[in-house]
Amino acid sequence: MKVEQNDRPMLFSETCLSDIFFTEYMPQANGDFVKVYLYIYFLAKYNKDIKLNDLSKKLALPLPVIQNALKYWEDQGAITKKNTGFIINDLQEIELHRLYKPRVALSCEDLEKSEQNQYRAKAIESINHSYFQGMMTPSWYSDITLWFKKYQFDEQVMIALFGYCFDKSALHRNYVQTVADAWSKNNIKTYNDLDIYFEKQEKLNKIKKNISKKLGISRKLTQYEEAYVEKWIIEFEYSFDVIELALRKTTSKANPSFDYIDKLLCDWHDRNLKTVSDVETFLASIKQKNKNIKELEKKTKYNNYEQRQYENLDAFYANKQNA
């Protein structure tokens, strides 16, 4: 990478960096990647060839880290790769182009057109002062305006969205967008919708912890295991008391299987068994039928299709007697 030589001695030289870097780029970047960017930004003032191995030694970073950092900043648009090296792009110019795309343009007149827009403007300013210390960049204003239109969130939900991401220490654009998408998929539009959603999530998390405790699982549930639990609670609408009946069926197993538990609960759901009483009545009937079949077998020593069918059920519910 070659640039013009700075005429001033290094002792009196300065390296100026746009505030856009600190508000839009640095918060999301890996610390080592920030270190690489700042150093190549500084070196860009001098007319010298910059070799990756030299960067690695100078910054005390492994060569793969240097390479990954350059790829990261290239993907972010902060630098552009050329045959002879890299060009440091103007972040302010990038932000300007992003800001003035037609779909996100917002003027002061737009904010004053209706009472709704005035409320939204107040919500945006509340977000600015609460989570950006009054230094929110213009692109955030545009994104929030777009999200209001896309998700139809009310003002309280939008403020809560930024509060949620702030509490997660993840106040960057991609994460906020991801959370907003998730809330939208759960039909959240008003603050009351959000309250109901949080209550369901709290209930879901509590049941997940109880299931892990009952099964002796100290690790976090995998994505697939969580999907099972969500199906039982959200789709089947089972309480933990019903799920616990299925968990008891694993007491004789060394490695409890979520697939086995799921088969039990799916069977109960298909039979329209909704409560603990429904399930216990069904299990008692299965036990009694199997008992009757075995007594009949002893007397007649005759096996028929009905007997084999109940024996299959008995195998499926093999742990009932110990539950």
Residue 64 or residue 108, greater confidence: 64
Burial class (CB in 10 A: 0-12, 13-18, 19+), 173: middle
pLDDT at 305: 47
Burial class (CB in 10 A: 0-12, 13-18, 19+), 21: middle
Which tokens belong to 159? Answer: 């403020």
Q: For residues 242 and 294, give the distance between their C-alpha atoms in angstroms, rounded to a whole number.
A: 29
Q: Are 146 and 104 spatial neighbours (Cβ–Cβ below 8 Å)?
A: yes
Q: Are 64 and 130 spatial neighbours (Cβ–Cβ below 8 Å)?
A: no
Which ranges of 100-190 does DSSP label H, i.e. alpha helix? Answer: 108-112, 115-131, 138-151, 155-167, 173-185
The band of 99, judged by pLDDT with boundaries at 50, 70 and 90, is: low
Q: Are 61 and 96 spatial neighbours (Cβ–Cβ below 8 Å)?
A: no
Residue 38: CA atoms inside 13 Å, Cβ hemisphere, count?
A: 14
Residue 188 has pLDDT above 90, yes or no: yes
Over the chain, what is the mean pLDDT?
81
Range ranked top by mean pLDDT from 13-17, 141-145, 299-303: 141-145
Give the three-state DSSP class for 119.
Answer: helix
**Amino acid code (one letter) for 145:** T
How much is the average pLDDT of 47-61? 82
Long-range CB contacts for residues 194-203, cutoff 8 Å, separation at least 24: 194/156, 194/157, 194/160, 200/234, 203/233
Q: For residues 40 and 216, give the distance between their C-alpha atoms in angstroms, rounded to a whole number.
A: 51
Q: For residues 117 and 123, give the distance between their C-alpha atoms in angstroms, rounded to a whole number.
A: 10
Q: For residues 209 and 36, give the distance between their C-alpha atoms in angstroms, rounded to a whole number.
A: 42
Q: For residues 207 and 225, give the distance between their C-alpha atoms in angstroms, rounded to a whole number.
A: 13
Q: For residues 319 and 120, give the distance between their C-alpha atoms in angstroms, rounded to a whole number.
A: 59
How much is the average pLDDT of 205-228? 91
pLDDT at 47: 65
pLDDT at 5: 44
pLDDT digits (tens, 9 = 90+) for 129-173: 999 988 888 889 889 989 998 999 999 999 999 999 999 998 988
Residue 49 has pLDDT above 60, yes or no: yes
**In the block, residue with structure tokens 């075995």:** 294
The band of 232, judged by pLDDT with boundaries at 50, 70 and 90, is: very high
Structural domains of the chain, ranges and CATH numbers in brackets: 10-95 (1.10.10.10), 100-189 (1.10.10), 210-322 (no CATH)
Q: For residues 205 and 215, give the distance between their C-alpha atoms in angstroms, rounded to a whole number.
A: 15
